[in-house]
Amino acid sequence: MDDKITVVICLYNAENYIVETLESLENQTLKDFDLLIIDDCSPDNSVNKVKEFFKTSPFQSTEIIHFEENRGTAYARNFALHHVKTPFMLFFDADDIAKPDLIEKLYSKINENDDNIAVSCYSKYIDTNSKKIAGGHYIGPTSEDEFRYKAENGKLILIPNVTLFRTEFAIQVGGYRLKGFVSGKPRYQDLSEDLDLWSRMSDFYTSGKVMLTIPEVLFYYRKNTSSLSASKDSLIAMQNKIRYIKLNLKRRRVGKNDLSFIDYMDSLTRSQKVKNYFKDTSAFYYRKAGFSYVEKSYLSFAYFMMISVLLNPSYIVDKIKSNFIRTNK
């Protein structure tokens, strides 16, 4: 294969899942790809499990890079973006599972046309025991017309993080954004960092470039149903980041420069912050309802769903469309 791929796994506290993830990549029908592991100073046994796996694995090219301190997802991905030498890249989470034809189908699709700069696919949720559960990511434009409509009208290009993309275009838009954020926790640069990158890459629509999603489940996304994956404060932080990404997209569409995240937050009025708080709190209780449903705690599900609807009814409609369609795949 002339146009080679690098698959990158940013590793942090995944000792319970990394072997299963590597096995799923080992079993790919398309095997000619490089594998880069970035250890973000993981304190558990993840790295040792990777090294042990590589002793007998048939991967043609592997590399492990260790950070001496924890730098976060955005930093690790940006490092990888500028480290690899291949024209295509694919980030894969250390606890997800790839179906055998994931890479082959993404690679085939992106090479159908030189204007395809990124190709993703649908995913289905699994729990901590790798059992399929309700929900998944069934998002992203599945045709050139749909992508162009969204891009031309200033819509966010919502595609899963498991996306094969042309490295050069990600570098041209600045890679993963690391500057302009407040210091400390939460690390805003690590929230929706992929969405921020896809948003800026979608600007290439003006030169005929396209970002697509294959409408087929090609990997399994692990959901931790034993606890909430984010606290209310963390979820509110993420929603603020998404609004920031969307605002900058609209600014670029009218020829304005991006704001920094700090400048964006300073620009919000008190009434805007209150309105956003109610929306984000609704999203938090919707998520709690989802976990309760998966765990078959139906009274809690009904209670949390009721709170979410009261706080922001329109949010529920949008989430049902995106999360509960095609759940039987």
Domain span at residue 81 reads 5-222
Q: Which of 222, 247, 269 is the last residue in one of the domains?
A: 222
| Phi, then psi, of 157 in degrees rounded to 5 | -90, 95
- Do residues 195 and 293 share a domain? no
Q: What digits encode the pLDDT tens for the residues 282-300?
A: 888 887 887 788 778 889 9
| Strand pairing report for 97-98 and 61-66 | unpaired
> For residues 109 and 164, what is the distance between their CA atoms, to the nearest angstrom?
10
Per the domain annotation, does 57 fall within a domain? Answer: yes
Q: Which of 166, 200, 222 is the last residue in one of the domains?
A: 222
- Do residues 173 and 155 share a domain? yes
pLDDT at 151 over 50: yes
| Phi, then psi, of 92 in degrees rounded to 5 | -135, 130
Per the domain annotation, does 287 fall within a domain? Answer: yes
| Phi, then psi, of 60 in degrees rounded to 5 | -75, -35
Nearest residue to 83 via CA among 176, 148, 182, 221:
176
**Per-residue confidence at 329, pLDDT binned at 50, 70, 90?**
very low
Residue 104 sits in a domain whose CATH number is: 3.90.550.10
- Do residues 64 and 127 share a domain? yes
The residues, ordered by sequence, that sit 6+ positions from 28 with a Cβ below 8 Å of its Cβ are 98, 100, 101, 102, 103, 104
Range with lowest mean pLDDT among 1-5, 118-122, 145-149: 1-5
- Do residues 68 and 139 share a domain? yes
Residue type, 8: V
> For residues 13 and 39, what is the distance between their CA atoms, to the nearest angstrom?
9
Per the domain annotation, does 328 fall within a domain? Answer: no
- Do residues 136 and 237 share a domain? no
Burial (Cβ within 10 Å: 0-12, 13-18, ≥19) of residue 125:
buried
Per the domain annotation, does 236 fall within a domain? Answer: yes
Give the pLDDT of residue 135: 87
- Do residues 181 and 147 share a domain? yes
**What value does the mean pLDDT of the chain take?**
91
Per the domain annotation, does 123 fall within a domain? Answer: yes
The more confident residue out of 95 and 134 is: 95
- Do residues 258 and 201 share a domain? no
Q: Is the peptide bond before 186 cis (omega within 30 degrees of 0)?
A: yes
- Do residues 215 and 238 share a domain? no
| SS3 call for 13 | coil
- Do residues 215 and 258 share a domain? no
Per the domain annotation, does 329 fall within a domain? Answer: no
Per the domain annotation, does 227 fall within a domain? Answer: no
Q: Are the beta carbons of 17 and 95 closer than 8 angstroms?
A: yes
Q: What digits encode the pLDDT tens for the residues 79-91?
A: 999 999 999 999 9
- Do residues 152 and 37 share a domain? yes
- Do residues 64 and 163 share a domain? yes
Q: Which of 161, 191, 222 is the last residue in one of the domains?
A: 222
Secondary structure E strands in the chain: 5-11, 33-39, 61-66, 88-91, 97-98, 116-126, 132-137, 164-166, 210-222
Give the pLDDT of residue 229: 45
Give the pLDDT of residue 280: 85
Nearest residue to 239 via CA among 294, 195, 179:
195
Please state the domain count of the chain: 2
* Predicted model pTM: 0.88
**Per-residue confidence at 57, pLDDT binned at 50, 70, 90?**
confident
Per the domain annotation, does 81 fall within a domain? Answer: yes
**Per-residue confidence at 191, pLDDT binned at 50, 70, 90?**
very high
- Do residues 12 and 130 share a domain? yes
| Phi, then psi, of 50 in degrees rounded to 5 | -65, -50
CA angle 175, 179, 181 (to 5 degrees): 125
